[in-house]
Amino acid sequence: MEPTQPTPGRVLSAAERYTPELLQGVLARLEATTHSREVWQIIVETGRTVGLPFVDFVSASGMLDWRPTLFVRTSYDADWLMDQYRDPDLRKWSFFRQHALSCLTPLVIGIDFADEYPPVPPARVALLREAAERGMRAGLSIPLRQNAPPQAALLTFSGDHGRREMRAIVKAHGWTLHAMSLIGHQRYLMHFAEEFTERNEITDKQRALLELIGLGLQDKAIAERLGVSISAVRQRMNSLCAKTGLGSRAELAALAMTLGILPDPLRGPTENGPTELLVEMDPAGVRRAPAPRL
């Protein structure tokens, strides 16, 4: 089902209006999103607003190795770039990605800034020149992080600008692009996880099975809960494993928790029990006390 168009966002209070106006509107709209496609739409529209319409969003599963990639999303037809990256030597070398794996600072990119990087191989320079011919002469690349173990990601905004124009864009809108990327990345991945069942066409019956597996029930108990045979349970489980690419009950249970089907045991309900407040004060040490109810 296609998501609805994101709303313009709520009306901000006066105390919320001390950040750049563009950023205010972007964050308010991100609050209202219900699907990853809405988040992507806001990110791309913001890039276009500041003159950087070519957006690349790459997210990977670890900081030490950019494979396997969770997803690559672009605002343009990137087939020409994918063709270039079939060259293993060219694919292996990317200063932008290597920077994002170990650093948190945004950096300018593009052929006009190539002299500010470490030595760039000729094949990479040729790629930067081709990008410039396609309207991606300069841009801003923003490293991102998520979860533990950390996942690395990279949001890059590019446009047909010379060095002086690009520096002016960064000065005027760099804060907005950076803050939007940090929040947009978090929001995108939250929806992306929620949409797992949609992407993999997991049925309601399979989702119910996933929940019971996550609770630690064995096949007989699951069959009794669902009112089906043990054979039917195993058939559904095999189908679920085929759709998700997982191969064990433990992996399916972990998936149920990741998708929010089951509560995180480290963040269980506290309505009926005391909650501890941990206070760490640099000059006075650590204090523990019952937390006040909000």
Residue-range domain boundaries for the chain: 14-194, 202-263
Residue the block writes with tokens 């990256």: 85
Distance of CA 136 to the CA centre of its chain: 23
Residue 183 vs residue 275, higher pLDDT = 183
| Average pLDDT over every residue of 255-262 | 74
Q: What is the mean pLDDT of the chain?
A: 83
Distances, alpha carbon 278 to alpha carbons 265, 270, 285, in Å: 19, 16, 11
The answer on pLDDT for 15 being more than 80 is yes
- What pLDDT was estimated at residue 291? 66
DSSP 135: T
Which of the given ranges, 27-31, 216-220, 288-292, has the highest pLDDT on average?
27-31
- Which residue type, as a one-letter code, is found at position 201? E
Provide the CB-side half-sphere exposure for 1 (13 A, CA).
7
The answer on pLDDT for 4 being more than 50 is no
pLDDT in tens, 131-176: 999 999 999 999 998 765 567 888 999 999 999 999 999 999 999 9
The answer on pLDDT for 273 being more than 70 is no
Provide the CB-side half-sphere exposure for 193 (13 A, CA).
15
φ and ψ at residue 151, rounded to 5 degrees: -105, 135
- What pLDDT was estimated at residue 224? 92
- What pLDDT was estimated at residue 255? 81
Residue 270 vs residue 19, higher pLDDT = 19
The answer on pLDDT for 56 being more than 70 is yes
CB 29 within 8 A of CB 6: yes
% pLDDT > 70, the chain? 81
β partners of residue 9 = none
Degrees, nearest 5: CA angle 152-155-157: 160
Return the CATH fold of 202-263.
Arc Repressor Mutant, subunit A (1.10.10)
Whole-prediction pTM: 0.79
Distance CA 255, CA 38 (A): 24
Q: Which of 240, 263, 265, 260 is nearest to 252 (CA)?
A: 240
β partners of residue 159 = 138
Q: Which residues contact 178 (CB under 8 A, 6 or more apart)?
A: 106, 142
- Which residue type, as a one-letter code, is found at position 129? R
Residue the block writes with tokens 């399979």: 206
Distance CA 176, CA 24 (A): 9
Residue 17 vs residue 277, higher pLDDT = 17
Tokens of 147: 């979860």
CATH of 14-194, one of 3.40.350.10, 3.40.50.12780, 3.30.450.80, 3.10.129.10: 3.30.450.80
The answer to which of 59-68, 98-107, 122-131 has the lowest mean pLDDT is 59-68
